[in-house]
């Protein structure tokens, strides 16, 4: 087995990521679970850097490790009366869930290991973000993939996503608003 | 596939775009006027604009219709047009049926209510007309988020809040499973474009993909994700609670809109995207088994219900089972006959379910009750609603010669033609149809044969009466002109295969 720096880094990050993910699910204290989530997001950012997607990694740190976890912690603070032990209780069927997860995870790992990928050989119209990242790096390429009207871009789903956000805001206001008497 | 965005491609987008703009208009109009009638009228009559654009696309009014736009993410085939019309009918029926109820029971302004419905309908229309996985996912979110909001609309009712929170959590989980499936499929094929996925799967040098486990896992995960949306067993647990807890017009919207949109996307991904035709991939076996459990469980548990909305939830699970029989028939040999049956069934199901729910909304509006025993003697208390609802229930039960019977016959016939593999499923489907007659006819019997405790006439809002009248006309028209429906749906079904 060929060992280089990148694969060592990958395994270190992967172990941290899986361990922290397990902590998110298994911690009985919900604040500890939320804090472990920061580690998960950070480790995912590390994986993105290994894949040459620096911009996504930075966005991951800014939005997920920064904003989203703060939001989650605020939500816990405002809704939970006690933040002590057993604030994240288990369902009585946890062993069944664990069994299904292990079977499903094993199945997927087996499937991925025993399958041929057509990536790279397909006559795909999509350029991966990493390709052609000469001048400007992946940021330029990502921008083109999102907005460009002149070459293959995901401009339609991007615009639909803005309507999705609007609907979410309208809904949040409608449900959260005080009753007018 | 054109290599850049041109102005003609916006013509292809115009039906969805105008529905979204109508949603903005209704939302804004609410600020200027407090007259409910005006806002409702704008929302309903405004649907004429997207309908006009869809007709202009169907008849190629402004020149030849572009076959695709936005880099293949938007498709201009007959299949897209079929679902555009279907969802416009859904929007019209839901908004018309909910006018009186929304005013009486929901303390929201009409602009918010109708705009949320319109945004969701735009998402449903996009689910039928996109040919790319990411766009399908975003369109699904645009469909679902308004549905979560609608489930929690009666803010003073704890059951409604419970329905909303359950729907959000299960919806988010199913979306995550769907995305996982899409990611695995992308990993194998290297593209999210369904046309390119079909090309990878069918091209000879990729014969290696036959029996590809990762592709199979991706397909199964995507099916599970959509299985929640169409309430197929074992992903149906949300349906009864949410149907019961949500405001009744919202329940109508879930039962027709969410189901039709889910099937639109499933057929697009599995047939147009070619995932059903990977050799050595026995997806149809899974679909057939799920179809068998779905229709049996739905119909048997529907027998035991006392709440009409729960009964309709299990009835809609049973109907999803029949639709899955058609899907299994499509997947086994990749034929258009099953698609024809599915699309016809969906069209008839939408019209009849709008009628059946108009009856439930009418009763809930007039009395505030929604148990099956509250239908006692409805034939005397409100003859027209009882007659219309009876007709719809008989069509849902599949009593000949109604459209519901003929469309079900088409699905079972398509499955029968596929040979011995699906014979057992057809037999089970026929048995289920017999079970289903019991609970539909039970409601009819209560409406017409049981003496009511109260004999006063019910005052049903005009909008509900109008919805009922239009559904009855729709069902009769579909029954008489079933042949016309078949020819139009036939071209839509075939268009799923033509680009290959």
Mutate which of B8, B126, B135, B138 to disrupt the A interface (most A C-beta within 10 Å)?
B138
Task: Check pLDDT > 90 for residue B179.
Answer: yes
The pLDDT, as a whole number, for residue B37 is: 86
The pLDDT, as a whole number, for residue B353 is: 94
The pLDDT, as a whole number, for residue A130 is: 47
Mutate which of B71, B74, B118 to disrupt the A interface (most A C-beta within 10 Å)?
B71
Which helix (H) or strand (E) segment holds residue B459: the answer is none
Contacts of A160 in chain B (CB under 8 A): 123, 126, 135, 138-139, 142
Which has the minimum average pLDDT: A57-61, A121-125, B284-288? A121-125
Is A43 in contact with A17 (CB distance < 8 Å)? yes
Mean pLDDT of chain B: 89
Task: Check pLDDT > 50 for residue A121.
Answer: no
Distances (CA, A) of B455 to B374, B381, B382, B451, B452: 12, 6, 10, 8, 6
Residue-level length of chain A? 181
Write the pLDDT tens digit of every residue in B118-134.
Answer: 999 999 999 999 999 99
Write the pLDDT tens digit of every residue in B388-442.
Answer: 999 999 999 988 888 889 999 989 998 998 877 889 999 999 999 999 999 999 9
Cα–Cα distance measured from residue B194 to residue B38, given in angstroms and rounded to the nearest whole number: 43
Q: Span A47-64, mean pLDDT?
A: 90
Distance from CA of B5 to the nearest CA of A (A): 5
Write the pLDDT tens digit of every residue in B233-244.
Answer: 888 989 999 999
Write the pLDDT tens digit of every residue in B302-321.
Answer: 999 999 999 999 999 999 99
pTM of the model: 0.92
CB contact under 8 A, A117 and B134: no
Closest CA to B92 of B84, B103, B82: B84
Cα–Cα distance measured from residue B364 to residue B399, given in angstroms and rounded to the nearest whole number: 27
Contacts of B74 in chain A (CB under 8 A): 156
CB contact under 8 A, B216 and A116: no
Contacts of A161 in chain B (CB under 8 A): 138, 141
Mutate which of A96, A164, A168 to disrupt the B interface (most B C-beta within 10 Å)?
A164
Q: Which residue has the higher pLDDT, B222 or A82?
A: B222
CB contact under 8 A, A117 and B214: yes
Cα–Cα distance measured from residue B140 to residue B261, given in angstroms and rounded to the nearest whole number: 8
Cα–Cα distance measured from residue A26 to residue A6, given in angstroms and rounded to the nearest whole number: 30
Structure tokens at B140: 């699904």
Contacts of A121 in chain B (CB under 8 A): 190, 205-206
Cα–Cα distance measured from residue B464 to residue A56, given in angstroms and rounded to the nearest whole number: 51
Is B404 in contact with B397 (CB distance < 8 Å)? yes
ipTM of the complex: 0.89
Distances (CA, A) of B466 to B39, B350, B377, B385, B459: 18, 16, 21, 10, 13
Closest CA to B396 of B348, B434, B362, B360: B348
Distance from CA of A98 to the nearest CA of B (A): 17
Nearest residue, CB atoms, B209 vs list A114, A118, A152: A118
Nearest residue, CB atoms, B188 vs list A117, A149, A174: A117
Report residue A129's pLDDT band, with 50, 70 and 90 as the boundaries.
very low
The rounded Cα B181 to chain-centroid distance in angstroms is 22
CB contact under 8 A, A108 and B217: yes
Cα–Cα distance measured from residue B340 to residue B129, given in angstroms and rounded to the nearest whole number: 17
CB contact under 8 A, A111 and B216: yes
B106: alpha, beta or left? (left if phi > 0; alpha if psi -120 to 50): beta
Q: Which domains does chain A possess?
A: 1-99 (1.20.120.1200), 130-181 (no CATH)
Task: Check pLDDT > 50 for residue A123.
Answer: no
Is B385 in contact with B305 (CB distance < 8 Å)? no
The pLDDT, as a whole number, for residue B281 is: 66
Task: Check pLDDT > 50 for residue A133.
Answer: no
Chain A residue with minimum CA distance to B6? A149
Report residue B457's pLDDT band, with 50, 70 and 90 as the boundaries.
confident
């Amino acid at each position: 087995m060929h060992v280089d720096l990148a694969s060592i880094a990958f395994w270190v990050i992967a172990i941290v990521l899986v361990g922290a993910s397990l902590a998110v699910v298994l911690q009985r204290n919900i604040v500890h679970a939320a804090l472990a989530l920061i580690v998960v997001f950070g480790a995912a950012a590390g994986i993105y850097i290994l894949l040459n997607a620096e911009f996504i990694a930075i966005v991951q740190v800014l939005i997920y490790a920064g904003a989203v976890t703060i939001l989650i912690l605020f939500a816990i603070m405002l809704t939970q009366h006690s933040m002590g032990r057993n604030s994240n209780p288990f369902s009585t069927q946890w062993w069944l869930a664990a069994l299904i997860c292990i079977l499903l995870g094993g199945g997927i790992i087996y499937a991925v290991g025993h399958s041929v990928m057509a990536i790279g050989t397909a006559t795909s119209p999509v350029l991966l973000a990493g390709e052609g990242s000469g001048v400007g790096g992946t940021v330029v390429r990502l921008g083109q993939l999102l907005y460009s009207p002149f070459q293959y871009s995901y401009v339609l789903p991007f615009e639909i996503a803005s309507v999705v956000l609007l609907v979410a805001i309208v809904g949040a206001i409608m449900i959260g608003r005080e009753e007018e008497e | 596939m054109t290599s850049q965005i041109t102005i003609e491609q916006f013509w292809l987008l115009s039906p969805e775009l105008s529905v979204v703009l109508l949603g903005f208009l209704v939302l804004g109009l609410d600020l200027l006027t407090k007259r409910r009638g005006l806002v409702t009228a704008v929302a309903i009559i405004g649907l004429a604009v997207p309908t006009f654009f869809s007709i202009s696309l169907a008849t190629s009014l402004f020149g030849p219709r572009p076959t695709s736009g936005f880099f293949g993410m938007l498709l201009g085939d007959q299949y897209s047009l079929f679902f555009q019309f279907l969802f416009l009918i859904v929007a019209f029926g839901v908004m018309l049926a909910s006018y009186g109820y929304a005013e009486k029971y929901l303390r929201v302004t009409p602009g918010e209510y109708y705009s949320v419905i319109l945004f969701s309908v735009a998402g449903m229309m996009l689910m039928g007309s996109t040919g790319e996985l990411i766009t399908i996912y975003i369109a699904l979110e645009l469909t679902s988020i308004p549905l979560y909001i609608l489930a929690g609309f009666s803010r003073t009712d704890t059951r409604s809040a419970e329905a909303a929170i359950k729907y959000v959590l299960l919806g988010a989980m199913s979306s995550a499973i769907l995305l996982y499936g899409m990611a695995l499929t992308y990993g194998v094929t290297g593209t999210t474009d369904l046309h390119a996925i079909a090309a990878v799967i069918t091209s000879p040098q990729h014969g290696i993909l036959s029996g590809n486990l990762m592709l199979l896992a991706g397909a199964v995960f995507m099916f599970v994700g959509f299985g929640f949306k169409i309430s197929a067993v074992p992903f149906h647990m949300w349906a009864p609670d949410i149907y019961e807890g949500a405001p009744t017009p919202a329940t109508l919207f879930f039962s027709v809109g969410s189901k039709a949109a889910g099937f639109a996307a499933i057929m697009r991904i599995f047939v147009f995207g070619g995932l059903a035709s990977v050799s050595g991939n026995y997806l149809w076996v899974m679909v057939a088994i799920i179809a068998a459990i779905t229709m049996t469980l739905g119909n048997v548990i529907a027998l035991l219900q006392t709440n009409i909305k729960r009964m309709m939830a299990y009835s809609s699970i049973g109907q999803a089972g029949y639709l899955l029989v058609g899907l299994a028939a499509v997947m086994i040999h990749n034929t258009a006959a099953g698609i024809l049956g599915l699309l016809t069934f969906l069209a008839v199901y939408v019209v009849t379910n709008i009628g059946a729910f108009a009856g439930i909304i009418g009763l809930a509006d007039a009395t505030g009750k929604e148990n099956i025993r509250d239908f006692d003697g409805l034939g005397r208390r409100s003859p027209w609603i009882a007659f219309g609802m009876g007709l719809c229930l008989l069509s849902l039960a599949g009593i000949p010669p109604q459209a519901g019977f003929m469309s079900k016959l088409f699905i079972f016939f398509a499955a029968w033609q596929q040979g011995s593999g699906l014979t057992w499923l057809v037999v089970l489907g026929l048995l289920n149809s017999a079970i289903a007659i019991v609970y539909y006819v039970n409601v009819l019997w209560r409406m017409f044969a049981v003496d009511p405790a109260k004999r006063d006439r019910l005052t049903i809002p005009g909008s509900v009466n109008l919805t009922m009248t239009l559904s009855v006309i729709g069902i009769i028209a579909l029954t008489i002109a079933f042949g016309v429906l078949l020819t139009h749906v036939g071209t839509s079904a075939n268009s799923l295969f033509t680009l290959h």
